[in-house]
Amino acid sequence: MNVLVTGGAGYIGSHVLKVLTAHGHSCVAYDNLGNGHAEAVGKAPLIRADLADGDALATVMRDHKIDLVVHLAGFIEAGESVVAPGKYFRNNTIIGMTLLEAMRTAAVQRLVFSSTAAVYGEPERIPIREDDRLDPINPYGSSKLCVEFMLRAYARAYGLGCVALRYFNVAGAAPDGEIGEDHNPETHLIPLVLQVPLGVREKVMIFGDDYDTPDGTCIRDYIHVMDLADAHRLAAEAIEPGTVKVFNLGNGEGFSVRQIIATCRTVTGRPIPAEPAPRRPGDPPRLVASAEKAMTQLGWRPNYCRISTIVQHAWNWHQTHPHGYTKA
């Protein structure tokens, strides 16, 4: 298929491009490089443009005879979304609609949408299943859930075929060392912890150690970025006209912030000082996926389930790229 990957120069986008290309798809990356890196795109053509311009977007879809859009572009920080909600609704929700309209203009009928575990808010039960209550506690989750609702409306009205993938905590890097995570500023736990043994920061802050969890710190379900990327390939094949399918993507195992720091100490063999700090707004205490549906319906089989492997691949990447792509 001819695939347009929005946010293709980003962390997840670059790994999705790598997997889709390896499976014979012809990919085009669409990215304004606001947060992405041209170096991450590999051999796929990169169109440096903004998604806000729906006409330009539709033209690109027509020119490249796009069959499928994988929509990954967006802002992703739950904490930031609490203090800057407009930024999230504009960039994630309104631009989501611009994209859907451009797809309609260009008669592109297939979409894989990157959604998030944040749509669940504080879950009623663990592990979380796709039909559990949707009640985001931060604007980031709300901004993505709005798009999920739009997808259903577009599927019904125009026959759009869609898969929405609700990511849990994505981490790790391509095992071949070619690409990895490089956010600026970095806000995600694993890369921040690894900055300590890299000498980039002195210690890591633990955002809240008084949660109702066994060690008082937040629990998350970490998924390897290559396993996540592979699910996009399978999702593309599972699209059916006029339907929206929704899948969680996680490993079904929760790790606390303290457990992640301990794993990073073991993998790197270095002491990593950590210090409790106030809770970060918008953080649910515990998010763990049931990914049973993705396994049974998509045939998804994660290859890198162990947290030590996920951290090891991240560590390999950060050691060779201590300041990311540009200053490697």
Q: Which residues are tagged catalytic?
A: 140
* One of 280, 286, 305, 309 touching ligand UFG (CB under 6 A): 280
Query: Binding-site residue total for ligand UFG (CB under 6 A)?
Result: 21
Contact between 118 and ligand UFG (CB under 6 A)? yes
Contact between 80 and ligand UFG (CB under 6 A)? no
Contact between 283 and ligand UFG (CB under 6 A)? yes
Contact between 249 and ligand UFG (CB under 6 A)? no
H helix runs in the chain, sequence order:
11-22, 54-63, 78-83, 85-88, 95-105, 139-158, 189-194, 225-238, 257-268, 292-293, 307-320
Packing angle of the helix pair 307-320, 257-268 (nearest 10 deg): 60
**Number of Cα atoms under 13 Å in the Cβ half of residue 26:** 7
The CA-CA-CA angle for residues 151, 10, 324, to 5°, reads 160
Supply the minimum distance, in Å, between the C-beta of residue 32 and ligand UFG.
19
Contact between 205 and ligand UFG (CB under 6 A)? yes
Contact between 128 and ligand UFG (CB under 6 A)? no
Contact between 117 and ligand UFG (CB under 6 A)? yes
What tokens does 320 get? 């060779």
Supply the minimum distance, in Å, between the C-beta of residue 218 and ligand UFG.
3
* One of 26, 105, 187, 243 touching ligand UFG (CB under 6 A): 187
Round to whole Å and give the CA distance between 246 and 168.
Answer: 13
- Residue 292: Cβ within 10 Å count: 14
3-state secondary structure of 279: coil
* One of 168, 247, 255, 317 touching ligand UFG (CB under 6 A): 168
Contact between 218 and ligand UFG (CB under 6 A)? yes
- Quick one: which of 21, 194, 230 has its CA closest to 112? 230
Contact between 246 and ligand UFG (CB under 6 A)? no
Binding site residues, ligand UFG, CB under 6 A: 76, 78, 116-118, 168-169, 187-189, 192, 204-207, 218, 220, 257, 280, 283, 287
